[in-house]
Amino acid sequence: MSKTVLITGGAGFIAHHVIERILNTTDWNIVSLDRLDYSGNLNRLDNMMSGFPAETRKRVKIVYHDLKAEINPQTRSIIGKVDIIMHLAAGSHVDRSIEFPMEFVMDNVVATCNILNYARTIDNLERLVYFSTDEVFGPAPNGVYYKEYDRYNSTNPYSAAKAGGEELAVAFENTYKLPIYITHTMNVFGERQHPEKYIPMCIRKVQNGETITVHSDSSRTIPGSRHYIHAADVADAMMFLLELKDFVMPPEFGGAKCPKFNIVGKEEINNLQLALIIANSQGKPLNYEMVDFHSSRPGHDLRYSLSGDFMKSLGWEPKIALTERISQVVTWTLANPDWLSINV
């Protein structure tokens, strides 16, 4: 019998790539639980699914619900039987979290508790995946690559709220024996990303001959860096984890019972190098300005970094080089310019 996976925030950027992967590689049915606000956009699902046959599209059911409220009996009935939960819904806009911190506590902590409480009532739940972030570890000095169980050091309300939701997931694993996996990933990019994000913003500004702001250290000489990863690679990693058989926690994790996995891009790249790749992909010059990072964006960090060694030891790492992925996204985005609109 086909499985049913409940994906929270399915109309969001990363989640809709996960849905695409599931439709392409399984016969599973999908319930997308969304409130359709700033991050959720049904146009993403519609655009992505337009290439699938009608019978495949019928496997996706969209249910409206705001997880700041508990899942009530009527919504539960509409969702139906669930085998797997992938909790990707979250408030993720760092600037907004600095201005409205309680909004992010509600979206990332309270909402997570509500989906965890719902999960407790599901008979024979196979897996719940909580999608966390590299930002819970805070800034990474040069040469440091945080492992799955390193200490946290949140530097803004967004990352603190994600860490809070993550600790609730750990607690529900320990207290109620829920079958939970936690993932940390870094800066994700890909098709249909919101145009405010760095890569689509760079594509647009290079196309229009505008100046790109590159955040750097106080000397304005060292750009910020990240391990960028394509959303399709994140989806591939998520499916890899769901298919893990007989997984046993390694002893070096200190007796922790809730497994955590870093999903990391192959290459670290600074934001100036990234902008240059984007410009070269379009055959256009790059106009840029280096600015003092912390003066212009307090609460943000110059460098994040995770170790991908654990996932690599299990047999997973991205299969396609970052430069090729960026070229793919630039080509797709220029062919679909509506996704560069600030109104998307």
Report pLDDT digits (tens) over 160-178. Answer: 999 999 999 999 999 999 9
Smallest Cα–Cα separation from 119: which of 74, 79, 161, 91? Answer: 79
pLDDT (0 to 100) of residue 39: 58
Work out the average pLDDT over 232-245.
Answer: 96
Q: Encode 233-264: b = buried (16+ Cβ within 10 Å), e = exposed.
A: bbbbbbbbbbeeeeeeeeeeeeeeebbbbbbb
Q: Are residues 176 and 248 in the same domain?
A: yes
Q: How far is CA 316 from CA 171, 239, 244, 320, in A?
A: 27, 11, 11, 12
Smallest Cα–Cα separation from 6: which of 47, 55, 53, 60? Answer: 60
Cα-flanking dihedrals φ and ψ of residue 324, to 5°? Answer: -70, -40
pLDDT (0 to 100) of residue 225: 78
Q: Tell me which of 185 and 251 has the higher pLDDT.
A: 185
CA 259/CA 245 separation, integer angstroms: 13
pLDDT (0 to 100) of residue 217: 78
Is the Cβ–Cβ distance between 23 and 60 less than 8 Å?
A: yes
For 285, counting Cβ atoms within 10 Å of its Cβ (0-12 exposed, 13-18 middle, 19+ buried), the class is exposed
Is the Cβ–Cβ distance between 96 and 37 less than 8 Å?
A: no
CA 215/CA 290 separation, integer angstroms: 6
313 assigned to some structural domain:
no
On average, the pLDDT of the chain sits at 91
Instruction: Give the chain's count of helices (H) and strands (E).
Output: 14, 13
CA 108/CA 89 separation, integer angstroms: 8
Smallest Cα–Cα separation from 34: which of 113, 98, 100, 115? Answer: 115
CA 335/CA 86 separation, integer angstroms: 31
Q: What is the pLDDT of residues 103-157, one digit of tens each?
A: 999 999 999 999 999 999 999 999 999 999 999 999 898 889 999 999 999 999 9
Q: Looking at the predicted structure, is the pLDDT value of residue 343 above 90?
A: no
250 assigned to some structural domain:
yes
Is the Cβ–Cβ distance between 83 and 5 less than 8 Å?
A: yes
pLDDT (0 to 100) of residue 42: 81
Q: Are residues 233 and 279 in the same domain?
A: no
Q: Looking at the predicted structure, is the pLDDT value of residue 300 above 80?
A: no
For the annotated catalytic residues, the residue numbers are 158
pLDDT (0 to 100) of residue 58: 96
Q: Are residues 332 and 205 in the same domain?
A: yes
Q: Are residues 77 and 220 in the same domain?
A: no
pLDDT (0 to 100) of residue 246: 81
CA 166/CA 184 separation, integer angstroms: 10
Is the Cβ–Cβ distance between 114 and 90 less than 8 Å?
A: no
Q: Are residues 203 and 222 in the same domain?
A: yes
pLDDT (0 to 100) of residue 306: 94
288 assigned to some structural domain:
yes
Q: Tell me which of 218 and 88 has the higher pLDDT.
A: 88
Q: How many CB atoms lie within 10 A of CB 65?
A: 21
Q: Looking at the predicted structure, is the pLDDT value of residue 25 above 60?
A: yes
Q: Looking at the predicted structure, is the pLDDT value of residue 80 above 70?
A: yes
pLDDT-based confidence at residue 196 (cuts at 50, 70, 90): confident
308 assigned to some structural domain:
no
Q: Looking at the predicted structure, is the pLDDT value of residue 296 above 80?
A: no
CATH number at residue 124: 3.40.50.720
Q: Looking at the predicted structure, is the pLDDT value of residue 40 above 90?
A: no
How many separate domains does the chain show?
2
For 9, counting Cβ atoms within 10 Å of its Cβ (0-12 exposed, 13-18 middle, 19+ buried), the class is buried
> In terms of residues, how long is the chain?
344
309 assigned to some structural domain:
no
Q: Looking at the predicted structure, is the pLDDT value of residue 65 above 60?
A: yes
Q: Looking at the predicted structure, is the pLDDT value of residue 195 above 60?
A: yes
CA 273/CA 279 separation, integer angstroms: 10
Work out the average pLDDT over 280-290.
Answer: 92
Segment (H or E) for 7: strand 4-8
Q: Are residues 158 and 170 in the same domain?
A: yes
Q: Among the listed ranges 183-192, 250-259, 278-287, which one has the minimum average pLDDT value?
A: 250-259
Q: Are residues 291 and 329 in the same domain?
A: yes
34 assigned to some structural domain:
yes
Q: Are residues 143 and 291 in the same domain?
A: no
94 assigned to some structural domain:
yes
Q: Are residues 35 and 83 in the same domain?
A: yes
Q: Tell me which of 196 and 221 has the higher pLDDT.
A: 196
Q: Are residues 251 and 288 in the same domain?
A: no
Radius of gyration of the chain (CA): 20
Q: Where are the alpha helices (DSSP H) in 67-176?
A: 73-79, 94-99, 101-105, 111-120, 157-176
Q: Are residues 182 and 68 in the same domain?
A: yes
The residues, any chain, with a CB within 8 Å of residue 134's CB and separated by 6 or more, are 146, 184, 185, 186, 262, 304, 305, 306
pLDDT (0 to 100) of residue 223: 83
314 assigned to some structural domain:
no
Q: Are residues 209 and 232 in the same domain?
A: no
The residues, any chain, with a CB within 8 Å of residue 268's CB and separated by 6 or more, are 225, 226, 227, 305
Q: Range of 202's domain?
A: 195-226+267-303+320-340
CATH number at residue 288: 3.90.25.10
pTM: 0.92
